[in-house]
Amino acid sequence: MAPRWLQPAQARTPRFLMIALCSACLVSFFLVAVVFSPPAAIRTHLSPQTEELKFSIPTTNFSLPGPPPQVTEKDEYKDRLVGLGTSDPEPLPAAVDTSGLRYAILMPTFEGHFDNTIKFLQDLRCLCVDHNELDIQIIVSDSHEQAAFRALLAARLQPCNSTYSRFPVPPTLRAAPAPRVNVTNLFDILPPLLLDTEGVSADDTSPLLRARGKYVYQSVKKLAAAFAFAYDVALWLDAEAAVVQPFAARAGLFDEWVRSPGPLFRSRMARQPWMVRLMGDAWRVLGREQSSFGELGWVLESMMWMVDKAILNDMRDWVERAHGIPDFWAVWLDYGAPFEILLYNAHIVARKLETTDSVYSPYAVLETEREMIRFGMQPAFEHIEHRTDTGFLERAYTMLRTPAVWPNFSAFLRRHRQRIVRLEELDLAPPEVYDRLLLDTPVFLLASGDVPLHEWWEGRMREGAPLYGGAVNWTDFS
């Protein structure tokens, strides 16, 4: 057979065609990879078995490869968005000296949730490198629960081993003392108006529960604690909360929030009469007209339930002056006793309309749906926007039913400093999607939902299933 270079041209044509086709395939593959792969801000750890996870917070801006997908006719949200992108620079954090600020966690609980509360404190002991800098206030229902929880705390809160869940625990944290926990009887912080409830005593506050109902009773625990204790910034948490991964509470959560608070999100999800009524009650407590803010407006969106004591005190003062009644609690109860975080967020939204006070100026008020469209998440709206029992961002994890949006969701959370999310299901997307969303964003806490995250990780490890991420770089917290 003659050498290839001596063969007739027609005999060589198929080989040339093959080379051309291969070249076209390579070019197409490259274009697909560039256009459809996650943006550089998120496209990390491409070799999850070998690369080490870094827990420093990413700062690279996220940008979409093109205009964000617009809403369609089937969407509840109808606005057309123009001039929106994700490449604008992030606002610079304020130069605030946070060294002397006092931070607290306010967690109401009761006997039925004691196991959850102890589990959270164990998470905190083994995964929060500076838990000793937090005042942890646990609010129980009566003196019997107070004694029972203190005994449970002494018996079950254990020193940390060399590992906790999927994470190694450094010697310094293993040798650290237990978190500072103060267990308070609700009776001791009740306002006078509620202390007068017939049958209420230090040994039994259940008459208040029966008289006012479950949700008012829960809000009383949170509001009474927020007014009673000394702090600069506190975090309201439900008893079902959980720590996700190693973090620094002061630098990574509270200091960051003080220097650059996340936005106050509002959505158009108040589509049920009970939601319209709750928002109306909040506006009426504040002396506002609901029509000024829209009947669909809903402000229980973000799970970052951070409480600035200065804003809380201003809210109390505002309510009393607006109604000419020197008792916040009387007004709150007369107008339906709306959820504490709903009222607090509504107060910030309203005060932003009329003041340039430096306490309020760091806060932005953003529409949840609009911001999520801006980050390219509209293709997953169908999983959340038709629900009638929740805020949009509150249960945004349901959008993971469209797994391809996780990089966008991660960028959205990171951009707006949402270190705490709600998560109630772990089977909506492939496991690595959850791993990457939680670890890379990063998410520090699950606010509620009682999802067994660490047991889920441990089960996957026992089965030999691959886990995304490598060893923790604890020096990132030093």
Taking alpha carbons only, the member of 322, 390, 298 closest to residue 332 is 322
Q: Which residues contact 398 (CB under 8 A, 6 or more apart)?
A: 383, 384, 387, 425, 428
pLDDT at residue 105 in the model: 98
Contact yes or no for 465/436 (Cβ under 8 A): no
SS3 of 399, please? helix
- Give the number of other Cβ atoms within 10 Å of residue 59's Cβ: 8
CA distance 271 to 295: 8
Cα separation, 372 vs 406, in Å, equals: 12
What residue spans of 160-272 are helical by DSSP H? 171-174, 192-195, 206-212, 214-228, 255-259
Tokens 């009947």: give the residue. 295
What confidence tens digit (pLDDT) does each residue in 136-162 have? 999 999 999 999 999 999 999 999 999
Cβ contact 194:159 at 8 Å = no
Tokens of 436: 């990457």
Kindly state the greatest CA–CA separation across the chain.
108
What is the Cα–Cα distance from 261 to 336, expressed in whole angstroms?
29
User: Which helix (H) or strand (E) segment is 368 a member of?
Assistant: helix 368-374
Distance, CA of 256 to CA of 263 (rounded, Å):
13
Please write the tens of the pLDDT for every residue from 90-131. 665 667 889 999 999 999 999 999 999 999 999 999 999 999
Half-sphere exposure of 29 (CA within 13 A, CB side): 6
Secondary structure letter of residue 111 according to DSSP: G
Would you state the pLDDT for residue 275? 94
Please compute, for residue 18, the number of CA atoms within 13 A of its CA located in the half-sphere on the CB side. Answer: 5
Give the dihedral of Cα atoms 314, 317, 321, 326; nearest 10 deg.
Answer: 170
CA angle 302, 308, 311 (to 5 degrees): 105
Burial-class residue 330 by CB neighbours within 10 Å (0-12, 13-18, 19+).
Answer: middle
* pLDDT tens digits along 20-66: 444 444 434 333 333 333 333 332 222 222 223 233 334 445 666 66
Nearest to 415 by CA among 379, 375, 450, 388: 375
Q: Pairing relation of β-strands 167-168 and 365-367?
A: unpaired
Residue 386 has pLDDT above 80, yes or no: yes
Q: What is the DSSP track for 145-165? A: HHHHHHHHHHHH-PPP-SEET
What does the mean pLDDT of the chain come to?
Answer: 84
Q: What is the pLDDT of residue 93?
A: 66
The answer for 35, left when phi > 0, alpha when psi is -120 to 50, beta otherwise, is: alpha
Q: For a pLDDT cut of 90, what percent of the chain falls above it? A: 69
Q: What confidence tens digit (pLDDT) does each residue in 300-330 have?
A: 999 999 999 999 999 999 999 999 999 999 9
pLDDT of amino acid 49: 29
Q: How far is CA 248 from CA 37, 124, 177, 242, in A?
A: 31, 10, 16, 15
* Stretch 372-385: mean pLDDT: 90
d(CA 51, CA 55): 13
Place of tokens 């945004």: 396
For residue 450, pLDDT over 60 is answered with yes
The continuous run of DSSP H or E covering 233 comes out as: strand 233-236
pLDDT score, position 35: 34
